[in-house]
Chain A
Amino acid sequence: MAKKRKPKLAVWKFASCDGCQLSLLDCEDELLAITDHIEIAYFPEATRAVVKGPYDLSLVEGSITTPHDAERVHQVRRSSKFLVTIGACATAGGIQALRNFKDVNTYITAVYPTPQFIETLNKSTPIADHVFVDFQLRGCPISKFQLLELFNAYLNGRKPNIPQYSVCIECKRKGTTCVMVAQGIPCLGPVTQAGCDAICPSFERGCYGCFGPKETPNTHSLAERFHVLGEKEDDIVRFFRGYNSYAEPFQRESIAHEKKSQV
């Protein structure tokens, strides 16, 4: 069999903490096997050597927060055949999207001594608000297993086995006792997409919603339950204002409770 040209991989960074890129480096055991099949062509976090584009597969980390990045993301798209966003920042705007709910200028003046040097957009937005995205890997950070599955599926020309159902499904398969039912701890698992293997409930914590909204999330009904568990309107605002606060269903739910908390 003729040796196929290895597909070229590029890893791009926008506004983010680099944690998702680290998940790739964290694939220690599998990293060599990956490089057998994929050429790491552009990955500044790992190597300074740069292979010129275009690239077959681009992983994009981070959200768009500056006018410069809003331009740059189009160049990334143009030089990528297949573009996958990785992590909550790139897919939903990240924790930095909390500013979308406030006037960003109040932060700038509060934080920086010379605010006139700061050039930033009013909102932190996901990549898909700017360019076409072929696939999204959720999570804060992404799951190493899902990243490998993505490579795997990409190399073999198949759809990745990445489910969109709730965290509860993984929680129950593991047999973890439900923290919400047995301990009265609010948990976002019923409205959050699986992928983390229900790690928080396994450690007796409620899910924080790192993987963002599941398919058809009923945030309104879950918020009702949070009320029954004794949470106040502004607590509920905070539950939905985490890493995926700007994802539409979470955004809508938090705004609804913010309005109620103000009356």
Chain B
Amino acid sequence: MAHQVRLTLDALQSLIDELQSREYIVIGPKIENRKVVYDEIAKIDDLPAGWSDEQEAATYRLHKTGSPALFDITHSMNAWIHHLYPSKATLLKASRENSGFTVERMKEAPPKYALFGIRPCDLEAMKKYDRILLKDTFHDEIYKNRREKTFIISANCTRPSGTCFCASMDSGPKATSGYDLALTEIIRDGDHYFIADIGSESAQELINKIPQAEASADDIAYANSLIEKAREQMGRTLNTGNLKEILYKNYENTHWDTVGDRCLTCGNCTLVCPTCFCTTIQDYTDLTGSNVERIRQWDSCYNNEFSYIHGGSVRTSSYARYRHWLMHKLATYHDQFDTSGCVGCGRCITWCPAAIDITEEASAIRQHSITV
């Protein structure tokens, strides 16, 4: 069994101090203008203690709980992708020179991030990013350089939000691998502490520097019981049994029209999804025409131009774009990358302005399947 220690709130602060002394930029959830953002934190007090969230389709609300818990808020709208795979990046610059031109590939000094409090579902999403952007012939320079430097402190979920369904997708609420440290927050008998699972040598080295005690068997069992309770309280469920095959048989299902009628093709669901990775690349000249910058930005398959090929866009209707998206998440991703395109974080449900719910849509297709 992995080595687990018990940390107090003060020890957690020491942990942040240690990370900062190693020049990490510590990123964590915090409240800004009454909203949760996932951004740089200086100290433990920046975390949203005493706040909790309610998430439902097209609804996200914060409220005060009075509890000292740091991790009552589940996950923020923005996932870690903003930090490791920025929404806008300059890839290269080129300039005309005499009769030719020179090209300068942009090389960044990658920021060194410690991602604090990232949720198990997001950790699973990162594994998919690793699979897609690092493993094949072509890897993504920006992601690779940032990812290699990243230190991960995951927070297991003891309370799922109303749109979470990681239990169905086998990607939460407990982090199983891929972290340096995984914390479980415990508030019991007036005591407030964390059970930390040590997942890497560098984490062990850090832990040795801060006050800690060996976690008791009772503490570990209690932490696990909290996570198990969360597993039973998932806000949503998705039956994944045979789902890919069912979806493939249902390209012509008329239910797509029903959801297409509601879908705004606004793209929000793709840009909050921690497993979406599509980008668009454009060249910008300057007025002289002698200099050009190649800029990459996040893109979405809900944009008409996304499917533009010679003669026009392939997916012009909203139903075709919605179908393409859901198919990629739950079916074609499997064929492409041997894994699901969905970790069940529920962000696409919460942040869809039209309250469209992937779990409902997938189960509607299953129920009204053309051929079973």
Contact = CB atoms under 8 A, between A and B. Distances in A.
Given A149-B284, A161-B282, A216 B61 contact: no
A180 B302 CA distance: 19
Nearest to A165: B303
Interface residues of B, number: 45
Interface string A175-218: 10110111010010111000000000000100000000001111
Looking at B33, B264, B318, the one whose CB has the most chain A CB atoms below 10 A away is B264
B287 A36 contact: yes
B297 A152 contact: no
Contacts of B77: 175, 177-178, 182
A52 interface: no
A169 B351 contact: no
Contact of A221 (B60, B261, B267, B284): B261
A175 B271 CA distance: 9
B317 to A, nearest CB: 8
Interface string B275-302: 0000000101111110000000110101
Contact of B353 (A33, A204, A225): A225
B284 A152 contact: yes
Nearest to B267: A169
Contacts of B353: 168, 178, 180-181, 187, 189-190, 222, 225
A175 B350 CA distance: 15
Given A163-B305, A225-B353, A168 B289 contact: no
Interface in B61-80: 61, 77-78
Contact of A151 (B82, B287, B300, B350): B287
Contacts of A224: 262, 354
Contacts of A180: 58, 353
B35 interface: yes
A138 B351 CA distance: 27
A18 interface: no
A189 B284 CA distance: 25
A34 interface: yes
A221 B353 CA distance: 10
A156 B289 contact: yes
A172 B264 contact: no
A216 B265 contact: yes
Contact of B78 (A152, A175, A191): A175
Interface of A: 30, 33-34, 36-37, 148-149, 151-153, 155-156, 158, 161, 163-166, 168-169, 172-175, 177-178, 180-182, 184, 187, 189-191, 204, 215-218, 220-222, 224-225, 228
The 5 closest A-B pairs by CB, nearest first: A172-B271, A190-B266, A173-B87, A190-B264, A165-B303
